[in-house]
Amino acid sequence: PAAGPGTNHATDDPFTSSRTSWWRQDRFGMFIHFGAYSNLEGEYTRPDGTVCRNAEWIKRECRIPDEEYEKQAATFNPSAFDAKAIVRAAKDAGQRYIVITSKHHDGYAMWPTKQNTWNLRDHSSFDPHRDILAELKQAADAAGIKLGFYYSIWDWHDPDFAGPATFPRYKKRMYAQLKELVDHYDPALLWFDGEWDADNPTNRWSRQDGADLQAYLHGLNPGLIVNNRVGKREVVDGDFGTPEQEIPTEPVDGQLWESCMTLNDHWGFAKYDTNWKPAATVVRNLLDVASRGGNYLLNVGPDKLGRIPQPSVDRLRETGRWLGAHGQGDAVHGAGHTGLVADPSWGAVSRRGNELYASVTAWPAAGASLHLTAKGRFEITAARVLGSSQQVKATPAGDGFDLTPSGAATSPLASVIRLTIKPPAAAPAGT
């Protein structure tokens, strides 16, 4: 339904709204940083021969002159971009949505925008008949994966961004670009960034600007989910908070959140960065996030030809294998904060209906037990290890329960004990 006058995002609570339901269930998404910076693959050789390293910030951090940056972007030819392969990698990883950079801080649009020529069709060596966002949308739809777009409010390229007098002109173009994105690609979600505008100490992007933009977007599509950086990054702006490269230790009551993190140390492709986190870290992060009621947006940075680096693909695959084994994905997809137990040091506990999923990354020695500290009253009526026939004894002990497995761990990443609980206290909203 079209948004009528008076339609206001503030009237629907994102924590419980059907609008955000898919996002609250999915828990795990793929972030993709891909842009003109990817063409440099993390290194800029200055005229004096010295090399400066960075990824998506390379234009600014390495002080690349505009004409130099534009010259290199003209050679950008991501001919190996394979939307189906990317969607398959996400799906195999157990990721249920994708958020790709449509425009990062360098202002370069990854779709054929009509607002300027600083885009992948008009300023590249790429096949002008191709449109990677359209390709991704088609592949994602075919696979049942939701697609969202990252969009930077901050723009280093548009000359109208920098001046207070010309900023309204920039804003108009930005609105027009966002309408293009919504009308042509029907994204499920928009992920804003750069609202803080480091160029300008007075930070002219106001909270009201954010509220106006969000109302505009919901006028285009009332179903859109929008992150908090649409405004002043307070979680009360937009639908969900966006901790970056960190996982909150406590869920914030009544607020949605999503931790975005990288697999190595950069968002965009950097050929020198081989600091890949092991799949065990990815799985543990995902379990921690889901158990605290959050989402995990895990980044990949395709190379200049558009290919996801193999070490990323390998880790995604291993994560997906873990989620797919023994129904362990039930600890994540559709699961959330328990509200009933404290975070244990030995793993993470999530809840799905009347089941608690105790995912154990530090399996106890033979005969030893895991302590579960209860914060609410419940009984455990059944306890079993997924993918194993071994018995787990659950005995009331102190402020909660002791869980005593009778056999070995089922996975070096995490082994899951599924607890059936009674009485089923109402699951907290937002999970």
Residues in contact with ligand H79 by the rule CB under 6 A = 54, 56-57, 61, 193, 244, 260, 267
Contact 42, 35 (CB under 8 A): no
Q: Give 101 or 319: the residue with its C-beta nearer to ligand H79.
A: 101
Question: Which residues are bridge partners to 370 per DSSP?
Answer: 403
Neighbours of 119 (CB within 10 A): 22
Q: Give 61 or 379: the residue with its C-beta nearer to ligand H79.
A: 61
Q: Give 266 or 337: the residue with its C-beta nearer to ligand H79.
A: 266
Q: Give 170 or 267: the residue with its C-beta nearer to ligand H79.
A: 267
Q: Give 46 or 393: the residue with its C-beta nearer to ligand H79.
A: 46
As a whole number of angstroms, the distance between CA 232 and CA 227 comes to 11
Q: Give 58 or 419: the residue with its C-beta nearer to ligand H79.
A: 58
Provide the minimum distance between the beta carbon of 229 and ligand H79 in the complex, in angstroms, as a whole number.
Answer: 9
Q: Which amino acid is at 62?
A: C
**What DSSP element (H or E) covers 173?**
helix 167-185
Provide the minimum distance between the beta carbon of 57 and ligand H79 in the complex, in angstroms, as a whole number.
Answer: 4
Q: Give 161 or 267: the residue with its C-beta nearer to ligand H79.
A: 267
Q: Which of 64, 57, 60 minimizes the C-alpha distance to 42?
A: 57
DSSP H helices, 122-166, are: 132-143, 159-162
Phi, psi of 149 (to 5 degrees): -120, 130
CA distances 253 to 228, 288, 293, 322, 339, Å, are: 16, 17, 10, 30, 11
As a whole number of angstroms, the distance between CA 209 and CA 229 comes to 11
Provide the minimum distance between the beta carbon of 382 and ligand H79 in the complex, in angstroms, as a whole number.
Answer: 42
Provide the minimum distance between the beta carbon of 21 and ligand H79 in the complex, in angstroms, as a whole number.
Answer: 25
Residue nearest to ligand H79 (CB): 57
Provide the minimum distance between the beta carbon of 425 and ligand H79 in the complex, in angstroms, as a whole number.
Answer: 36
Q: How many CA atoms lie within 13 A of 411 on its CB side?
A: 25
Provide the minimum distance between the beta carbon of 293 and ligand H79 in the complex, in angstroms, as a whole number.
Answer: 21
Neighbours of 39 (CB within 10 A): 22
Q: Give 58 or 335: the residue with its C-beta nearer to ligand H79.
A: 58
Q: Which of 103, 98, 105 minimizes the C-alpha distance to 31?
A: 98
Q: Name the token pair of 57.
A: 């910030």
Provide the minimum distance between the beta carbon of 225 and ligand H79 in the complex, in angstroms, as a whole number.
Answer: 17
Provide the minimum distance between the beta carbon of 357 and ligand H79 in the complex, in angstroms, as a whole number.
Answer: 29
Q: Which residues contact 229 (CB under 8 A, 6 or more apart)?
A: 153, 191, 192, 193, 194, 195, 237, 238, 242
As a whole number of angstroms, the distance between CA 302 and CA 57 comes to 15
Largest distance between two CA atoms of the chain: 72
DSSP H helices, 11-164, are: 21-26, 58-61, 66-73, 83-93, 132-143, 159-162
Rg (CA), the chain: 23
Do β-strands 400-405 and 392-397 pair in parallel, antiparallel, or remain unpaired? antiparallel
Provide the minimum distance between the beta carbon of 152 and ligand H79 in the complex, in angstroms, as a whole number.
Answer: 8
Provide the minimum distance between the beta carbon of 32 and ligand H79 in the complex, in angstroms, as a whole number.
Answer: 11
